[in-house]
Amino acid sequence: MSGSEVGEAVFTSGASSLPCVTSVWIRSRSGASRNALVDGPADPVPGSVDVFHRFVILATSPSVRKTLYLSPYQRQSLSILYDDLPAHTKDQFKKKVILLSLETTGALKPWFIPKDNIIIDIWNLVFGAEHHIEDKDIHCKCFLVVKTLIKHAISTWLHKFAETAVKALAAEFAQQGLDTQAGRSSFVIFLLGNIEDLSDKKRPFLWESVYDNLSAWQEGIFQGRLVGRTFLEHLQIINNIDPNERVQEPPVGALILAVQAVHRALLYLIMGPFQLPSDKRSAKFSKMNRGDYSLVTPCGERVFKRATVFLKAIKNLKKEQWTDIFKVAMSFQVTNKHPNKLAKEDEEELSETDSDEYDDLVDPHYNEKPVELDHIAQ
């Protein structure tokens, strides 16, 4: 067998009775097939990279065995993956490591996940010397299990944004007394602003003031009720974290994801009832559908902003604006718990070349000049 195909079974566990499940980790090098099972260790190929794959070998009789590739996104796979964590770490992993990882992800740019060294830092913060992982251990079984479970938790967290945005819009329809398809459609079109251009910053649904008065000045940027209800999903998670272990940066990425989830829900509700595209891939709330992308044009490569349309504006929010954004979101929670105030992030100065792009998002409540709505519902 060639060097690029070698693999090594590095972990097994299972029961003696039938049917039984044997848990196997396979290490392949340089793009080896995930079906390549080799009984012994092999010499590493120069320049190769170890890649781990998760398998389950299901034995239904002494002579019948079935090898299954274990996807971390299948529900039945998760319990097996959790069992691969070091002994007595499962509860703390769920209660602390997952929550800290989600809070960290929420403070990153949208559609980014923590780097390996950050995941290791979170793990070591929780478990200390007893189950310490070194930076050099990123190819070990323990780290692979940890990272896989964290990625699954992030995927579920993203799905929650999309799911909550739809529920938020249903609640808003009820609050507005909109019980006809025509009325709902008109309201949705108003809140969306420009329907065709995903990078347009003029989105009435972002502003708190317009929900009760469609012709009001735009005040309360990123404090619109739909955004607040959706953003609450993230705040409820991070409120369960020990204040001494909290991330100090504001949840920039989480707020952007809430905005994107609301925008998506509005687009799919233009005709009245919520209707996803028939193509499942295009219907997903995913980086592929909502992240920035680039195309090569006759004038060179052009970046099309979808995820980072509001990034600069959100990174430049003032401390009191973050406080008010939190208050709006938490107002939709039954209890009176309020998230801990986050430390002020170092602000990135706007250059003269992009300051005009920011003008549409200047909030008169925190600045001097009010901005009128361009689109007023008829």
SS3 (DSSP) at 24? strand
Question: Of all residues in the chain, what percent carry a pLDDT higher than 90?
Answer: 44
Q: What is the mean pLDDT of residues 229-254?
A: 94
Q: Is the pLDDT of residue 325 over 80?
A: yes
Between 179 and 41, name the one with better pLDDT.
Answer: 179
> What angle in degrees, to the nearest 10, is found between the helix axes of 225-238 and 252-267?
140
Question: What pLDDT is attached to residue 106?
Answer: 97
Which residue matches tokens 């739809």?
166
Q: Is the pLDDT of residue 378 over 90?
A: no
Range in 65-69, 145-149, 214-218 with the lowest mean pLDDT? 65-69
**pLDDT-based confidence at residue 96 (cuts at 50, 70, 90):** very high
DSSP 166-217: HHHHHHHHHHHT--SHHHHHHHHHHHH--SS-TT----GGGBSTTTT-TTS-
Instruction: Please say whether the beta carbons of 16 and 47 come within 8 A.
Output: no
Question: What pLDDT is attached to residue 145?
Answer: 86
**pLDDT-based confidence at residue 280 (cuts at 50, 70, 90):** confident
Range in 24-33, 83-92, 99-108, 334-343 with the lowest mean pLDDT? 334-343
How does strand 293-297 pair with strand 20-29? Answer: unpaired
Q: What is the mean pLDDT of residues 332-360?
A: 41
Task: Compute the distance between CA of residue 289 and CA of residue 333 in angstroms, rounded to an integer.
Answer: 30
Nearest to 138 by CA among 31, 42, 52: 52
In eight-state DSSP terms, residue 221 is: B
Nearest to 253 by CA among 100, 109, 118, 99: 109
Question: What pLDDT is attached to residue 73?
Answer: 46
Per-chain mean pLDDT for the chain? 75
Question: What pLDDT is attached to residue 40?
Answer: 30
Range in 37-46, 52-61, 264-273, 334-343 with the lowest mean pLDDT? 37-46
CA atoms within 13 A on the CB side of 358: 18
Instruction: Please say whether the beta carbons of 347 and 316 come within 8 A.
Output: yes
The number of angstroms, rounded, from the C-alpha of 343 to the middle of its chain's C-alpha atoms is 22
Question: Of all residues in the chain, what percent carry a pLDDT higher than 70?
Answer: 66
One-letter amino acid identity for 227?
V
Question: What pLDDT is attached to residue 197?
Answer: 80
Question: What pLDDT is attached to residue 196?
Answer: 80
- Write phi, then psi, for 206 (nearest 5 degrees): -75, -25
**pLDDT-based confidence at residue 140 (cuts at 50, 70, 90):** confident
What is the pTM (predicted TM-score) of this model?
0.72
Q: Is the pLDDT of residue 121 over 50?
A: yes
Residues 184-222 have pLDDT tens digits of: 999 999 999 988 887 788 999 999 999 998 877 789 999
Task: Compute the distance between CA of residue 212 and CA of residue 259 in angstroms, rounded to an integer.
Answer: 19
Q: What is the mean pLDDT of residues 279-299?
A: 87
Question: What pLDDT is attached to residue 360?
Answer: 53
Give me the residues paired with residue 221 across strands.
Answer: 207
Residues 150-191 have pLDDT tens digits of: 999 999 999 999 999 999 999 999 999 999 999 999 999 999
Quick one: the chain helix, strand, coil %, rounded to 5? Answer: 45, 10, 45
One-letter amino acid identity for 260?
Q
Between 343 and 62, name the one with better pLDDT.
Answer: 62
Q: What is the mean pLDDT of residues 318-343?
A: 74
Task: Compute the distance between CA of residue 80 and CA of residue 90 in angstroms, rounded to an integer.
Answer: 12
Between 311 and 354, name the one with better pLDDT.
Answer: 311
Residue 145: other Cβ atoms inside 10 A: 23
Q: Is the pLDDT of residue 292 over 60?
A: yes
Can you give the C-alpha Rg of the chain in angstroms? 24
**pLDDT-based confidence at residue 137 (cuts at 50, 70, 90):** confident
